[in-house]
Structure 1
């Protein structure tokens, strides 16, 4: 009987501690997707050393391309984050470049940073998340 009472007490304490879901929601809106071809890949990064490396995202989602694409990451802890988005028009899972090294597919970053000759730094695209937030990322084609 003591074990059951202890189990019930622990369940009650854990439900109180996590009653609010334990985190923030972050909604990403991509308003200028130019067509419905392929996929939209959204990478959420929380470490400067991982940004914007493939397969180093804190969280990643692949969505069917559509105008005004939107996605919500749920229950994120407070912290600093950065977003990288790619319109993978041919759905091959990578960003394709022309002979000069310029992306042939749409891409974008949080804070709508427009990089010059290389990917932007984490510092330039990071934002703080302490409450629910909506961020718009405009793609560069």
Structure 2
């Protein structure tokens, strides 16, 4: 029994030892209407399609820091948008975003979503902070 307890303890410690925190610093928030929505993507294949985790916080003008705890160190991307009407999704008009949005590393949109290479960043064992300033 004590051997089993030791094994579980070692697994717990090993799992928590590799977990890191990611802070996404969202800027250019112009109002307190609605929510700020940030999604983290774990692979290039998942980028803008299948998020690993999403955090939603009530909007506050200026800058907001959203902290994602317990990520495995590695490469990630992030998207952010200001869901001003609180409907839980990005609003589009003729394919163009109608709510402020941004991507990690301030990757820019040029008539198409940003390239993965422009938005990717590394989370190390000590964690990371990435900036995503919103644009209209």
Aligned residues: 134
**Normalization by structure 1: what TM-score?**
0.86
Matching of residue 91 in structure 1 with residue 72 in structure 2: no
Matching of residue 81 in structure 1 with residue 72 in structure 2: no
Q: Deviations along 1:51-101, whole A, 9 cap, x unmatched?
A: 112xx10111111111222211111112110000011100112211234x3
Structure showing the higher strand proportion among its residues: 2
Query: Which 4+ residue blocks in structure 1 deviate beyond 4 angstroms?
Result: none
The residue number in structure 1 matching 2:4 is: 7
RMSD, aligned α-carbons: 1.7
**Normalization by structure 2: what TM-score?**
0.88
The residue number in structure 2 matching 1:31 is: 27
Q: Which runs of 5+ in 2 are unaligned?
A: none
97, 102, 107: which one pairs with 1:108? Answer: 102
